[in-house]
Amino acid sequence: MSTHVAETVVDYDDVVARFDPVLGLEVHVELGTVTKMFCGCPTEFGAAPNTQVCPVCLGLPGALPAVNAVAVESAIRIGLALHCSIAEWCRFARKNYFYPDMPKNFQTSQYDEPIAFDGYLDVEVETDEGMRTFRIEIERAHMEEDTGKTSHQGGATGRIHGADYSLVDYNRAGIPLIEIVTKPVPDTGKYAPEVARAYVTALRELLRGLGVSDVKMEQGSLRCDANVSLRLTSSDPLGTRTETKNVNSLRSVERAVRYEMTRQAAVLDSGARVVQETRHWHEDTGVTTSGREKSDAEDYRYFPEPDLVPIAPSREWVEELRAALPENPAVRQTRLKGAWGISDFEMASVVNAGALDLVEDTVALGSDQGAARKWWTGELARIANEQGVELQDLPITATDVARVEALVGAGALNDKLARQVIEGVLAGEGTPDEVVASRGLAVVSDDGPLLAAIDDALAAAPDVAEKIRGGKVAAAGAIVGAVMKATRGQADAARVRALLLERLDVTED
């Protein structure tokens, strides 16, 4: 069986001219609790396989689960932050299915009684008409437990097909998960991929702000399944959706939605039907391939979990948690927009780069907001994107960036040198000051060597010197350039220019 059959796709502009996309986003977040959802096993990432297990999370006969109160508290706080209603009374259910990564042969989950329901999250996306707010309605946020992890050995693809044998690690089995599911999201038109990405970004920021998870997509603590369907117009009933699984970066969310739209359009154009199925996202080739067919009426034989008592959070507790929520992200963004004097668009680009905390921290350490934004949403965002990692996982901190900016402010570094210092910090060469010292990157601030370099440059280009003396100040750029080159970029260009004009006795008008 080939899993990489190239499929026909329709040009994106053509798709959005003729079809109306509808999104549905499911995000699983692994809570950062110290222990698992129903037992006392530790949850730390990266331990040796099957060292964080017990009879409960291995589903051994007779083992009895008990609910992790911190996980329930986190679930309620997430629900409240998403403007959800919190159930007065809800239960866990058994979702029965057989798979080797699930030792109990059922997943303890919530079914028709989620702890949180009916909320929303607003996200901002740049459109042709300026910034636009898209309200993403939340259907539910429910508690469940993670499964173990299967790895297929010996094959070329890491998939079960072609593998010699499989290994299972149950360390992850029973880690608390919150699944946050949107209602179908209509009316995003050609912005559907950007809206999907902006939603996951905003949700990640919200969860990070709540401190409930480390929200690391590449380690799987935040996972997104992207549902997409197409219909001809927004007044038609919903089309058949596909569910692209485990898209594990923000950029991939956008790419996967875009790709699915172009693929589904081609299927519909050919007169065929879209198959309701899960699909796999391939980061390298940028395509999705067919997973398993999935109907809406899959029979998991849900029934209430008899080993756990219902959860009935008192209204006092819920209100206490609501009152103690951190500042709502939208409120925080409005506040910072005012403090920094930036536009909606500028704020959205900080947020959508996942850079708000980093920029805020850098500013708090004394940097100019413009400089802080420039580093984090420009150079550093580009590098993170290239390396396929999140901004805050780059080996550079707000403290480093603030220090580089302080050196620029003090005239010890110019832009070009600052870039090299950042590069050195990212390469693990130490703090900005250590990189400056070891690479010898300080700006030449002593006028002596600068004047000598200016004289050399003038001697090498007597015609240019003559022009400047004759009043053509614009020609000074060539000499400044030559001096910058001679000092390997370590001069302050403005200082060189001033010295040059002084030398030639010309004034700028």
Helices (H), 19-153: 69-81
Locate 281 and state its tokens. 């996202």
Q: How many CB atoms lie within 10 A of CB 2?
A: 7
- 286-325 residues in contact with ligand ADP (CB under 6 A) are 294
Least separation, in Å, of the C-beta of 148 and Mg ion?
19
Q: Which of 10, 41, 256, 499 binds Zn ion (CB under 5 A)?
A: 41
CB closer to Mg ion out of 21 and 114: 114
Q: In this complex, which beta carbon is closest to ligand ADP, that of residue 57 or of residue 143? A: 143
Do 480 and 496 contact (CB within 8 A), yes or no?
A: yes
Distance CA 500, CA 508 (A): 11
193 binds, among Zn ion, Mg ion, ligand ADP, none (CB under 5 to 8 A by kind): none
- Segment interacting with Zn ion, rule: CB under 5 A, options 33-41, 154-162, 219-227, 345-353: 33-41
Q: Does 353 bind Zn ion (CB under 5 A)?
A: no
Using the rule CB under 6 A, is 119 a contact of ligand ADP? no
Q: How many angstroms separate the CA atoms of 262 and 266, rounded?
A: 6
Selected from 182, 213, 377, 490, the binder of ligand ADP by CB under 6 A is 182
Which residue in the set 22, 29, 39, 71 belongs to the binding site for Zn ion (CB under 5 A)? 39
- CA dist., res. 21 & res. 15, Å (int): 9
Site string for Mg ion, 3-32 (x = CB under 5 A): -----------------------x------
Residue matched to tokens 């396929």: 388
Q: How far is the CB of 115 from ligand ADP (least distance, A)?
A: 15
Q: Which residues contact 129 (CB under 8 A, 6 or more apart)?
A: none
Residue nearest to ligand ADP (CB): 24
Cβ-in-10-Å burial (0-12, 13-18, 19+) of 283 comes to middle
Instruction: Please list every residue from 8 through 37 that binds ligand ADP, using CB under 6 A.
Output: 22, 24-26
Residue 354's binding partner out of ligand ADP, Mg ion, Zn ion, none, with CB under 5 to 8 Å set by partner kind: none
Query: Which listed option, Zn ion, ligand ADP, Mg ion, none, makes contact with residue 458 (CB within 5 to 8 Å by class)?
Result: none
Instruction: Name which of residues 354 to 413 contact ligand ADP (CB under 6 A).
Output: none
Closer to ligand ADP by CB, 293 or 415: give it. 293
Query: Contact at 8 Å (CB) between 228 and 16?
Result: no
- 186: number of Cβ within 10 Å: 15
Q: How many CB atoms lie within 10 A of CB 187?
A: 13
Stretch that binds Zn ion, among 56-64, 110-118, 150-158, 325-333 (CB under 5 A): 56-64
> Cα(232)–Cα(480) distance, rounded to whole angstroms?
60
Specify the 3-state DSSP secondary structure of 271: coil
**Which parts of 51-110 interact with ligand ADP (CB under 6 A)?**
none
| Count of CA atoms in the C-beta half-sphere (13 A) of 90 | 25
183: partner contacted, choices Mg ion, Zn ion, ligand ADP, none (Cβ within 5-8 A by kind): ligand ADP
**Of the candidate residues 229, 248, 362, 414, the single one contacting ligand ADP (CB under 6 A):** 229
* Partner in contact with 229, chosen from Mg ion, ligand ADP, Zn ion, none, beta carbon below 5 to 8 Å by kind: ligand ADP
What's the min distance (Å) between Cβ of 31 and Mg ion? Answer: 18
CB of 293 closer than 8 Å to CB of 277: yes
Residue spans of alpha helices (H) in 298-355: 315-323, 329-340, 344-352
Residue 41: name its binding partner from ligand ADP, Mg ion, Zn ion, none (Cβ under 5 to 8 Å by kind): Zn ion
Cβ nearer to ligand ADP, comparing 24 with 65:
24
Return d(Cα 39, Cα 147) in angstroms, integer. Answer: 14
269 contact choice in ligand ADP, Mg ion, Zn ion, none (CB below 5 to 8 Å, kind-dependent) = none
Longest dimension (CA), the chain: 97
Query: Is residue 489 at the binding interface for ligand ADP, with CB under 6 A as the rule?
Result: no
54 binds, among Zn ion, ligand ADP, Mg ion, none (CB under 5 to 8 A by kind): Zn ion
Structure tokens at 39: 């037992």
Residue 399, CB-side half-sphere exposure with 13 Å CA sphere: 4
Residue with smaller CB distance to ligand ADP, 72 or 181: 181
Kindly report the number of other CB atoms within 10 A of residue 301's CB atom. 10
Q: Select from 18, 149, 183, 416 the one that contacts ligand ADP (CB under 6 A).
A: 183
Nearer of residues 115 and 391 to ligand ADP, judged by Cβ: 115
**Hey, what are 268's tokens?**
């519909």
Report the interface residues with ligand ADP, using CB under 6 A.
Answer: 22, 24-26, 139, 181-184, 227-229, 238-239, 241, 243, 294
